[in-house]
Amino acid sequence: KWRIVFPNNGRQQKDWQQASASYSGNRIQTTKYTWFTFLPKNLFEQFHRLGNLYFLFLVVLNWFPQVEVFHREITMLPLLVVLLASMIKDATEDYRKYRFDKTINFSKTRVYDK
């Protein structure tokens, strides 16, 4: 499907509105997360790392009394600290991307018409 671009002409304003309704805008979005998807997406990414899966395995293994070596809370502590630090880092990076996208999207542009 070809995109039709009309010049800023009063006669063709109605045609331009119909043609441009099916296309998305020029908004830039480089963020990974939204408020609703941050926790599930971030946990999904964190547990793709082998080290985090290893510590999760130790936490699950310590819930069985026959195999328990440490207290359950002590085994969960390293995993929680690493996950929390990674979440804070990812959230701050994503917020910086959001602010930069906002400044780019609301910046003024100059249009030259012939």
Q: How many domains is the chain built from?
A: 1
Buried b (16+ CB within 10 A) or exposed e, 50-85: eebeebeebbeebeeeeeeeeeeeebbeebeeebee
pLDDT, tens digit, for every residue of 33-56?
999 999 999 999 999 999 999 989
pTM to 2 decimal places: 0.69
Whether residue 27 is contained in a domain is answered as no
| Domain, as residue range, for 90 | 32-106
SS3 73: helix
pLDDT, tens digit, for every residue of 67-88?
777 777 888 898 999 999 999 9
Whether residue 112 is contained in a domain is answered as no
Whether residue 111 is contained in a domain is answered as no
Whether residue 79 is contained in a domain is answered as yes
